[in-house]
Structure 1
Amino acid sequence: MIAAMTLYEPVGKTPNPLARDPLAVAGFVPRESEDDVACDLLRPHFPPDREILLLAGFDGYERLVRLERAEGDRRGRCIITPQSWRGLLGSRIATVLMAHNHPSGAAWPSDADRRCTQEAAVFLRTLDIELVDHLIFVESGHFSFRRAQLL
Structure 2
Amino acid sequence: MQYQRAELPLKLGGLRAATEFFAGCLADADPTRESLWVAHVDDQSHCVHLSRHQGDETGAAFPLRTIILDAATHGSVGIVLAHNHPSGDPRPSESDCRATRRLATAAEAVDCTVLDHLIFAGEHCTSFRKLGLP
Same fold (TM over 0.5): yes
Q: Deviations over 1:7-44 (max 9, x none)?
A: xxxxxxxxxxxxxxxxxxxxxxxxxxx713211x2112
Q: Determine which of 92, 108, 112 is the counterpart of 1:125.
A: 108
Q: Deviations over 1:33-65 (max 9, x none)?
A: x713211x2112223111000110000111110
Alpha-carbon spacing, 1:83–1:121, altered in 2? closer, same or farther (3 Å): closer
Deviates more, 1:122-131 or 1:86-95: 86-95
Greater RCO (CA < 8 Å, at least 6 residues apart): 1
Deviation at 1:81, TM superposition (A): 5.7
**Rounded Cα–Cα distance in structure 2 between residues aligned with 1:99 and 1:58:** 14
* RMSD, aligned α-carbons: 1.8
**Rounded Cα–Cα distance in structure 2 between residues aligned with 1:84 and 1:120:** 8
Q: Determine which of 88, 97, 120 is the counterpart of 1:114.
A: 97
**Rounded Cα–Cα distance in structure 2 between residues aligned with 1:74 and 1:107:** 15
**Rounded Cα–Cα distance in structure 1 between residues aligned with 2:67 and 2:111:** 18
Runs of 5+ in structure 2 lacking a partner?
1-14
1:7 is matched with none
2:25 is matched with 45
Q: Deviations over 1:102-140 (max 9, x none)?
A: 011011011100100100010101221111111101112
Larger of the two Rg values belongs to structure: 1
Q: Which amino acid letter does the alignment assign opposite residue 117 of structure 1?
A: T
Deviation at 1:73, TM superposition (A): 4.7
**Rounded Cα–Cα distance in structure 1 between residues aligned with 2:131 and 2:58:** 27
| 2:22 is equivalent to residue 35 of structure 1 | no
Q: Which amino acid letter does the alignment assign opposite residue 64 of structure 1?
A: C
| 2:63 is equivalent to residue 80 of structure 1 | yes
Q: Determine which of 12, 31, 46 is the counterpart of 1:63.
A: 46
TM-score normalized with structure 1 length: 0.70
Q: Percent identity?
A: 30
